[in-house]
Amino acid sequence: MKEQLLERFIRYAKIDTESDERSTSTPSSSKQWDLLHLLKEELNTIGLVDITLDENGYLFATLPANTDKEIPVIGFLAHVDTSPDYSGKNVNPQRHDNYDGSDLVLNENTVLSVSRFPELNNYIGQTMITTDGTTLLGADDKAGIAEIMTAMAYLQEHPEIKHGKLRVAFTPDEEIGRGPHKFDVDAFGVDFAYTMDGGPLGELQYESFNAAGARVTFKGTNVHPGTAKGKMVNSILRAQEFQAAMPALEVPELTEGREGFIHLMDIQGSVEKTVLEYIIRDFDKESFDARKQLFFDTAAQMKSDYGEDSIVLELEDQYFNMGEKIKPHMEIVDIISEAFDKLGISPIVEPIRGGTDGSQLSYMGIPTPNIFAGGENFHGRYEFVSAETMEKAAQVIIEAVKLYESRA
């Protein structure tokens, strides 16, 4: 299984599928179709049925039940796109067999060092896949795709393993928050699902951030600075005033665990016009609402001080804490914990400081926890994944469907 996983993963990783947050199409980048079409062919090759790829890039398939027992229909999902935070073009995965615990030289200028990334010590003796130091790797979430494909192929090749109807979905644009936006829940037709989109071995997540995005535009007036007194309005300074009202210590680089934050992501500005882009994150709904209210209150105060047209606030919710929808169905988390136990995996149950497709799907009627896929240091040149961890993830899928059948 391990070599099949590696072959699949490396092949998928070499396909550029970077999503584009500036695009309004679905998928946001046409190159995502390259992997989707390849996966459609492979699903057919390994014997899945009811394979559909719709006009928006959502690929569904079925592994039919091989038992007459009444078993919930379970889905497994992964996303095809990679993050636009770092280049996904010309990915050149590097294989390191029997990793010895030393620094990994990615290229003459880039070293994956143990001192900087001590988690490497967890992988001594394993087969490691890294970048060549010039791109991301794409384990987020091509590791998840490879694990699902390998698990489905294994179940198809081993009909003695009894299971209910299984559904597979590969989706576009998760990295830019749009993964489920055009997902056809009725067509997918499952009772529960799991995203294979977590990090290191043992991660099992059923809570995520509440998330919103904000764009704040400040209007100014540009006049020659020599004659500007009483005339110039510097939108950059207005933007600084707005940012100064945000909590300085509640930012990503100073928070962890269940702590929320307000993250200023981008500034584009001149005297005439300045735009601030934010994301707002919190696990607690009341705190989340309070953070959003701070934006509204600050904007209202600045409108009062400088005029109604001086500032434009656009704020939209992106997704909510999926725990609210999953907690009434904790049996779907418990069964994965049992699968972990059977495979000797110690569960790491903690909230996602981010979101997955499951964050939105859980509110669309499909409770969807998240299972580890194996990668670390996502979205950058230091990303890596262990073949042994990917193999464990594929085994979790197989063990979970066996448990659902045995309990029916």
Give the active site residues: 81, 174
Task: Give CA–CA dist 201/184, Å, rounded.
Answer: 31
Instruction: Give, for 201, the enclosing helix (H) or strand (E).
Output: none
The answer to whether 160 is a known ligand-binding residue is no
Contact (CB, 8 A) for 136 and 142: no
Contact (CB, 8 A) for 77 and 169: yes
Can you name the residues that pair with 312 across neighbouring β-strands? Answer: 217
Strand bridging mode 104-107 / 203-205: unpaired
Note the maximum CA span of the chain.
85
Can you name the residues that pair with 317 across neighbouring β-strands? Answer: 212
Task: Give CA–CA dist 327/372, Å, rounded.
Answer: 19
The answer to whether 334 is a known ligand-binding residue is no
Task: Give CA–CA dist 54/56, Å, rounded.
Answer: 5
Contact (CB, 8 A) for 28 and 172: yes
Q: Tell me if the bond preceding 34 is cis, omega within 30° of 0.
A: no
What's the DSSP call for residue 122? G
Closest CA to 8 of 373, 382, 355, 345: 373
The answer to whether 79 is a known ligand-binding residue is yes
Task: State how far Cα 287 lies from the chain centre.
Answer: 23
Contact (CB, 8 A) for 51 and 43: yes
**Binding-site entries for Zn(2+):** 79, 140, 175, 197, 379
**Binding-site entries:** 79, 140, 175, 197, 379
